[in-house]
Amino acid sequence: MITPMEVQVRSSTVLALGDPNTEPREVPLTIFDRFACDIHIAVLYAFTAPTPSNADIVEGLSETLAHFPMLAAQLGHDCGGRPCLMVGGGGGGVLVVEATVSSTLAEHMPLEPSPDLLLLHPRTEDAAHLLLVQLNRFRCGGLVVGLSAHHKVADGQSMSAFLVAWGQAVRGIPIDPLPLYDRSWLKPRVPPRCEFQHWGLDFMPITPRDDEFASHNNLVEPSRITNILLRYSSEFITGKLKAETKAKYTTFETLLAHVWRKITAARGLEGGEETTIRVTVNGRRRLKPPVSDHYFGNLVLNAYPRSTAEMLARGGLEEAAKVVHEAIARTSGDYVQSMVDLGDMYGDEELVPVYGTEGNVLSPLVDAESWLRLRFEDVDFGGGGKLCAFLPTWVALEGLVIFIPVVGEGGGVDVMVSLLREHAEVLKRISHSLH
């Protein structure tokens, strides 16, 4: 950012739910909660003035949390040592920080990835709360909401529903739809059976053999990693990329294939070096019968497109998009059911997701998440101001790629890419090349 961001914290409070004189309710973590990475996911929402007062926004948050109590819970273990959420009982709560920024919002627009964005959030390291909110009021009256939610509680679909509901509460509109907590779909087969290879892909093996799945655990100084935002217009996606693939694949599949090829080139991978994308897939509609979109919690898993650097370079965009499409298609209802059965078979084991065991450099892996079909752009606190920016906050994890809908007219897709600085410079130069 050109203008330095001077943020001053004015107050810090905890919104508590539940009666401290009662015992908390234990809610077991599902296999999909246990699979989610053990970190807070941080996003920023920027609104132009005028916006409601902080007091009205916090009051709406309190009303909303009554319907989303898991976000005010605590992570813990039940009497059998199994991971669970401790809901109510006076513990937990949501941290709400109010801050002011000495500059105007316009001085920082368009918002671009920068370590300065971390100033707009409470610190998440060793955070005592699963949901942390910071209301950043700019000199012009503009507002940036910094929100960090622990991934063990909810996935993107659930968090977007929560944010839309929060906006409804602030505007005095009944929350609709309400979240669903029914877990009747979480039903293992009799007997349960794992038909797919989850060890080494989704979870670390319980007893690794001969370092077969040992993590490469690449670590570098976080300052060597940077985040860049690549913008792809609707015209470029349709007129250039989809023309290359004869419009056989979705926007996400086509653009992911393109970005995969460019990242592979920017990293300098060559020949037979294998590269994999870890693609987040929503499992709700893949199960039979499907799970409601309004289910609150985690119900995502991964697809794993694989290729060699040489094939990506020589095969062109259409071949890469085919690899992506087929891998996502293989993440079927049967695959989701296999994960459900895995949770039943190993419910008492200390399962360790592959996430978080790899250090902060994923290369040659790419970790891709799509936020294109979520409802983040529908968040509206009212007051007359408009959503003018939405993006993930700075993440020093090489190989992370997040697809975000462009805010405003014209459409298109913003792609946040986290890479080593030298590779990011190359990617910026070649990001829109069709070769």
Residues annotated as catalytic (active site), given as ranges: 151, 380
Structure tokens at 117: 């964005």
The number of CA neighbours under 13 Å toward the Cβ of 111 is 28
Residue tagged 């009944």 (tokens):
174
**What letter represents residue 177's amino acid?**
P
Q: What are phi and psi of 278, to 5 degrees?
A: -100, 100
How far is the C-alpha of 362 from the C-alpha of 195, rounded, in Å? 27
User: How buried is residue 353: exposed, middle or buried, by Cβ count under 10 Å (0-12/13-18/19+)?
Assistant: middle
Residue tagged 């290359």 (tokens):
244
Q: Would you say 406 and 231 are in contact if contact means Cβ atoms under 8 Å apart?
A: yes
How far is the C-alpha of 58 from the C-alpha of 64, rounded, in Å? 10
C-alpha dihedral (357, 359, 362, 364), degrees to nearest 10:
-90
**What letter represents residue 145's amino acid?**
V
How far is the C-alpha of 404 from the C-alpha of 316, rounded, in Å? 24
Residue tagged 């939610």 (tokens):
149
Closest CA to 385 of 145, 115, 38: 145
Q: Which residues of 22-49 are buried (b: 16+ CB within 10 A; e: fewer)?
A: eebebbbbbbbbbbbeebbbbbbbbbbb
How far is the C-alpha of 353 from the C-alpha of 301, rounded, in Å? 11
